[in-house]
């Protein structure tokens, strides 16, 4: 995800979740309340593509450089790019608070619902492994959304968006990446490093 895409996704998410005074300071127009509600009800990327909330994101991306990139792609790759961004929209509407953390780092933290130290990660190894082994884009959307909900919607929207875009690039890429460059390997490293930290340290970032 380049700098322009980072800014677009950040402002789009903020338009739905920040209060009016905060948005005014950032010179961001509040999104209609219906956008968030409609996107939350979507179970597939195809459903998302029909909504005004996604159209606002997609048009902003096109205006900020994505259109030129798309023109250099095949029709198949253009469709895949559209699907990846629709998935971003469907997942990010379940993030309620930007705490700056990566998905896997937050998932691995050993905290309970009251943010107190515990001996179990917020997301179990089994559930996280299912996300890593997701076979299809629709399954990926649903499993990722469930994990976001389990995190009580506290994670970085832009970092989650970057993870989603990388997952799609790898899913449709016919040239496999080196192991240390794959998103599932990066997730595993972040998850287990976070889980192995002392619980007292985990609380300092929340």
| Residue-wise pLDDT tens digits, 16-46 | 999 999 999 999 999 999 999 999 999 999 9
Annotate 169-189 with b (16+ C-beta within 10 A) or e (fewer): eebeeeeeeeeeebbbeebbe
Both 74 and 112 in one domain: the answer is no
Mean pLDDT of 56-74: 93
Q: Quick one: 122 and 176 in the same domain?
A: yes
| pLDDT value at residue 174 | 67
Whether 103 and 84 share a structural domain: no
Which pLDDT score is estimated for 200? 44
- Rounded to two decimals, the pTM is 0.92
105 and 50 belong to one structural domain? no
Q: Are residues 132 and 182 in the same domain?
A: yes
Q: How confident is the model at residue 116 (pLDDT cuts 50, 70, 90)?
A: confident
Give the domain-ending residue among 64, 93, 122. Answer: 93
- Per the structure, the count of domains in the chain is 2
Q: What value does the mean pLDDT take over residues 55-62?
A: 96
Same domain, 35 and 121: no
Q: What is the Cβ-side half-sphere exposure of residue 115, based on CA atoms within 13 angstroms?
A: 8
> How high is the pLDDT of residue 144?
97
Min mean pLDDT across 3-12, 30-39, 50-59, 178-187 is at 178-187
In a shared domain, residues 144 and 177: yes
Verify that 42 and 137 share a domain, yes or no. Answer: no
Range of the domain at 60: 1-93
Q: Can you give the pLDDT at residue 205?
A: 43
Q: Tell whether 6 and 42 lie within a shared domain.
A: yes
The average confidence (pLDDT) of the chain is 92
Residues 105 and 203 in one domain: yes
Domain finish residue from 57, 76, 93: 93
Structure tokens at 77: 């790759």
Confidence band, pLDDT 50/70/90 cuts, at residue 175: low
Which of 74, 93, 112 is the C-terminal boundary of a domain?
93
pLDDT for the residue numbered 204: 43
Question: What is the tens place of the pLDDT at every residue in 137-157?
Answer: 999 999 999 999 999 999 999
**Quick one: 33 and 107 in the same domain?**
no
Kindly state whether residues 117 and 184 are assigned to the same domain. Answer: yes
């Amino acid at each position: 995800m380049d700098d322009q895409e980072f800014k677009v996704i950040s402002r789009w998410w903020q338009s739905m979740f920040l209060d009016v005074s905060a948005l005014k300071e950032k010179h961001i127009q509040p999104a209609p309340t219906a956008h968030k509600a409609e996107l939350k009800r979507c179970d597939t990327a195809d459903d998302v593509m029909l909504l005004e909330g996604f159209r606002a994101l997609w048009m902003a991306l096109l205006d900020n450089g994505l259109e030129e990139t798309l023109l250099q792609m095949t029709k198949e790759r253009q469709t895949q790019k559209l699907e990846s961004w629709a998935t971003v929209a469907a997942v990010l509407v379940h993030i309620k608070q930007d705490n700056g953390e990566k998905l896997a780092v937050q998932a691995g933290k050993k905290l309970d619902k009251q943010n107190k130290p515990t001996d179990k990660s917020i997301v179990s190894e089994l559930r996280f492994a299912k996300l890593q082994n997701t076979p299809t884009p629709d399954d990926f959307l649903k499993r990722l959304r469930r994990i976001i909900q389990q995190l009580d919607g506290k994670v970085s929207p832009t970092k989650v968006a970057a993870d989603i875009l990388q997952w799609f690039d790898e899913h449709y890429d016919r040239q496999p990446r080196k192991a240390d460059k794959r998103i599932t390997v990066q997730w595993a490293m972040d998850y287990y490093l976070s889980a192995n930290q002392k619980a007292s340290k985990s609380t300092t970032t929340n």
